[in-house]
Amino acid sequence: MTDPTAQRLQTDIVISGGGVAGLVAAAAFGSAGFRVLCVDPTPPVTEEGAAGADMRTTAFLHPSRTVLERAGLWARLAPHAAPLQVMRIIDAGGDTPVARLTRDFDAADLSDEPFGWNFPNWLLRREMVARLAELPLVDFRPGVATTGLVTRDSGAEVTLSDGTRITAKLVIGADGRNSFVREAAGIAVKTTRYGQKALVCAVTHDLPHENVSTEVHRSGGPFTLVPLPDRDGVPSSAIVWMERGPEAERLAELPPAEFEAAMTERSTGVLGPLTLVTRRALWPMITQIACRFSAQRVALIAEAAHVIPPIGAQGLNMSLADLRCLLDLAEKDPGHLGEAAMLNTYHRRRWPEVKAREVGIDLLNRASMLEPRPLRDLRAGALGALYALKPVRKTLMKAGLGVR
Ligand SMILES: Cc1cc2nc3c(=O)[nH]c(=O)nc-3n(C[C@H](O)[C@H](O)[C@H](O)COP(=O)(O)OP(=O)(O)OC[C@H]3O[C@@H](n4cnc5c(N)ncnc54)[C@H](O)[C@@H]3O)c2cc1C
């Protein structure tokens, strides 16, 4: 039975999910003049040391910056950015874990701007929540989940866990890999499991990173060091260490001194001895893509639509490309927000692009996981050959950034 005391609201857009993608979407649509309600059952954790803090970092690649600018976020974030000038790839697939092939992809080959900028996720949440508080058109409700969705041609009716019912022209599913909105809209997903986990933490080191992001390939998956701003005057980097599940779990439980020794060896010592300065967190690795990115009055963005392993900083950058596409369509024709033609165009523009990236990242991940020595030798040979051809090198860099 319907509760007669429950609130009934009307808005332009309901965003289900206030992870990094949902928060940027709320800021972007709110800045563009749309009325937005954004909900998330888990209130954002905005301090590094607090329980439940997201220990990952996000490298925003160049094209994402314009989206952050449109959302009024870039000016807040810029002072905390660690620029990424060079992407270094090391192959350490020989008998011992030493660098046997090193190749640098330098952003200077493309423009005088860096490839992107890296930020801790807890800091992103802090700045994004502060931005939403400035926007009169955005109603952000942490601690509340989306629990019901009924759609019609004329609009969507959303029910929240606090009993509120809202009608909206558009519902954006930004509620992560197990998206409620995706399921309620009846959209299926295709999932590939790798039996792999990513271990993430932050470290300090004696040698400066000089804005170089380094990916070391041996077996089990890539080991990546991404630049962070100095920590109390000491150079610092984020670690993303992908390994087969049991090995990642063993590493996560090692006493700190043994873990530091293992990390330093796996990094080929490229930045000197590594010192652990945060807790370690594990993330299961999957590739997942929704069969459609839209349904009646519904658009899926970010991990609700696609999940890929964290290689080449693609995940959230693809999510901001989803957002840019949806925002462009909405701004161009606000009178038809959330109608079938708009959402079909969104699906048609984004799905093939995401699928192509998913295939590419899946291949790179499988190549990095290789155990047999001859195949690892082949991998090193392919990297050397591709790198040697300057036009191919530039094309790869542009493809990685998502620019043409
Ligand atoms: C180790 C690692 C490193 C990464 N590094 C990078 C990188 O450098 N660059 C990059 O671009 N990407 C990176 N990624 C990917 C990036 O972190 C993700 O794409 C991004 O965090 C996902 O954001 P999201 O908002 O879609 O999902 P989530 O962060 O999972 O947010 C979903 C939110 O929805 C909420 N929710 C769930 N159910 C409901 C409901 N019923 N109602 C309302 N809300 C709900 C959840 O509480 C959650 O807060 C990395 C990923 C990993 C695992």
Nearest CA to ligand 1 atom 50: 310
Position 103 confidence tier, pLDDT thresholds 50, 70, 90: confident
pLDDT digits (tens, 9 = 90+) for 138-181: 999 999 999 999 999 999 999 999 999 999 999 999 999 999 99
Atom number in ligand 1 closest to CA 39: 43
Where does residue 183 rank: exposed (0-12), middle (13-18), buried (19+ CB within 10 A)?
Answer: middle
pLDDT digits (tens, 9 = 90+) for 28-45: 999 999 999 999 999 888
- Residue 264 pLDDT > 70, yes or no? yes
Atom number in ligand 1 closest to CA 302: 26
Distance CA 17, CA 42 (A): 9
Q: Please tell me the least confidently modeled range out of 9-18, 58-67, 383-392.
A: 383-392
- The pLDDT value recorded for residue 41 is 97
Where does residue 111 rank: exposed (0-12), middle (13-18), buried (19+ CB within 10 A)?
Answer: exposed
- The pLDDT value recorded for residue 267 is 95
Q: In angstroms, what is the span from residue 130 Cα to ligand 1's centroid?
A: 19
- Residue 136 pLDDT > 90, yes or no? yes
- The pLDDT value recorded for residue 6 is 55
Q: Which DSSP string corresponds to 188-231?
A: -EEEEEEEEEEEEEEEEESS--TTEEEEEESSSS-EEEEEEEEE
Q: How many helices (H) and strands (E) does the chain have?
A: 11, 20
pLDDT digits (tens, 9 = 90+) for 307-336: 998 887 677 899 999 999 999 999 999 999
- The pLDDT value recorded for residue 5 is 53
Position 127 confidence tier, pLDDT thresholds 50, 70, 90: very high
Q: Across all residues in the chain, what is the average pLDDT?
A: 90
- The pLDDT value recorded for residue 375 is 74
Best substitution site from 39, 54, 57, 58 to test ligand 1's pocket, by max atoms within 8 Å of Cβ? 58
pTM of the model: 0.90
Q: In angstroms, what is the span from residue 60 Cα to ligand 1's centroid?
A: 14
Atom number in ligand 1 closest to CA 42: 47
Atom number in ligand 1 closest to CA 198: 1
Distance CA 240, CA 199 (A): 6
- The pLDDT value recorded for residue 403 is 57
Q: In angstroms, what is the span from residue 19 Cα to ligand 1's centroid?
A: 6
- The pLDDT value recorded for residue 222 is 87
Size of the chain in residues: 404
Of residues 179 and 220, which shows the higher confidence score? 179
Residue 151 backbone dihedrals phi, psi, to 5 degrees: -120, 150
Position 373 confidence tier, pLDDT thresholds 50, 70, 90: confident
- The pLDDT value recorded for residue 394 is 67
Ligand 1 pocket at CB < 6 A: 16-22, 39-42, 56-59, 145-146, 174-176, 180, 198, 200, 240, 283, 302-303, 310, 313-317, 319
Q: In angstroms, what is the span from residue 189 Cα to ligand 1's centroid?
A: 17
CA neighbours within 13 Å on the CB side: how many for 100?
16
| Helix orientation angle between 315-332 and 62-70, rounded to the nearest 10 degrees | 50
Give me the mean pLDDT over the 119-124 stretch: 92
Distance CA 73, CA 329 (A): 21
Best substitution site from 20, 57, 200 to test ligand 1's pocket, by max atoms within 8 Å of Cβ? 20
Give me the mean pLDDT over the 373-402 stretch: 68
Atom number in ligand 1 closest to CA 21: 25
Give me the mean pLDDT over the 216-242 stretch: 90
Q: What is the dihedral of CA 280, 284, 290, 291, to 10 degrees?
A: 160
Nearest CA to ligand 1 atom 13: 315
The pair of three-digit structure tokens given for residue 196, joined into one six-digit string: 């792999």
CA distances from 26 to 128, 145, 219, 242 (A): 9, 16, 40, 32
The pair of three-digit structure tokens given for residue 171, joined into one six-digit string: 């519902």
Share of the chain above pLDDT 90, in %: 65
Of residues 397 and 202, which shows the higher confidence score? 202
Q: Please tell me the least confidently modeled range out of 115-119, 182-186, 208-212, 369-373.
A: 369-373
CA distances from 160 to 14, 91, 149, 274 (A): 11, 50, 9, 46
Q: Please tell me the least confidently modeled range out of 173-187, 207-221, 278-292.
A: 207-221
Q: In angstroms, what is the span from residue 93 Cα to ligand 1's centroid?
A: 31
- The pLDDT value recorded for residue 269 is 94
SS3 state at 268? coil
Strands 8-16 and 36-40: parallel
Best substitution site from 319, 322, 323, 361 to test ligand 1's pocket, by max atoms within 8 Å of Cβ? 319
Give me the mean pLDDT over the 217-239 stretch: 90
Atom number in ligand 1 closest to CA 285: 53
Of residues 54 and 207, which shows the higher confidence score? 207
Atom number in ligand 1 closest to CA 281: 1
The answer to whether the CB of 111 falls within 8 A of the CB of 236 is no
